[in-house]
């Protein structure tokens, strides 16, 4: 996820302080990984330097001065271009799991046990996500569906690989 573009898009609703941006980000996207304050302010500093935001006002308070940021026309253009650009699908061609299976075969360890263990971990996470989906709002349901579909694809791969272990063993140990 592009934190910079996300914060820029949140600014399109109107000027905000860094604290407000963090809160809005966390409410919409940070359920599992809230944004750190330092990341907000370093990102805003970079966006300011690049002319994508401007300081709309500075308020003195009991602590440090609070800057209110506003998106510039260049920032709006940048967000529009980012939103229009399709995300590159991840082909997962450098899978750590595949590497582990091959290394297990090469070192005489049980690749079948590795696959069984991984299957159990995937099923455990699927149960957690399914429970979260049942209790969540629409945003949570959609995020959980995305993760569940990927886990289902992984499970299909685990089953296919388990069925082909003997053939894979012969090929990698030549």
Q: What is the pLDDT of residues 99-143, one digit of tens each?
A: 999 999 999 999 999 999 999 999 999 999 999 999 999 999 999
**What residues in the chain have per-residue pLDDT under 70?**
1, 62, 93-94
Q: Which long-range contacts (CB under 8 A, 24 or more apart) does 73-82 make?
A: 75/8, 75/11, 75/47, 75/51, 76/8, 76/12, 78/5, 78/8, 78/52, 79/5, 79/8, 79/9, 79/12, 82/2, 82/5
Determine the Cα–Cα distance for residues 70 and 48; give it in Å rounded to an integer: 10
76/142 Cα distance (integer angstroms): 26
Residues facing residue 68 across a β-bridge: 17, 57
CA torsion 34-39-41-47 (nearest 10°) is: -110
Enumerate the β-bridge partners of residue 53.
71
* Entry pTM: 0.73
pLDDT of residue 106: 92
């Amino acid at each position: 996820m592009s934190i910079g573009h996300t914060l820029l898009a949140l600014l399109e609703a109107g000027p905000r302080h860094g604290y407000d941006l963090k809160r809005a980000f966390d409410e919409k996207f940070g359920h599992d990984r809230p944004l750190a304050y330092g990341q907000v302010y370093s990102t805003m500093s970079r966006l300011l330097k690049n002319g994508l935001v401007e300081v709309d006002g500075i308020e003195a308070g009991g602590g440090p001065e609070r800057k209110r940021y506003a998106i510039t026309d260049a920032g709006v253009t940048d967000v529009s271009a980012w939103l229009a650009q399709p995300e590159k699908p991840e082909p997962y061609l450098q899978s750590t799991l595949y590497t582990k299976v091959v290394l297990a075969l090469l070192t005489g360890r049980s690749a079948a046990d590795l696959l069984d263990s991984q299957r159990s971990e995937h099923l455990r996470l699927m149960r957690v996500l399914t429970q979260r989906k049942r209790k969540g709002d629409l945003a949570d349901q959609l995020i959980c569906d995305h993760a569940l579909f990927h886990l289902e694809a992984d499970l299909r791969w685990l089953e296919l690989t388990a069925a082909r272990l003997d053939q894979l063993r012969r090929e990698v140990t030549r």
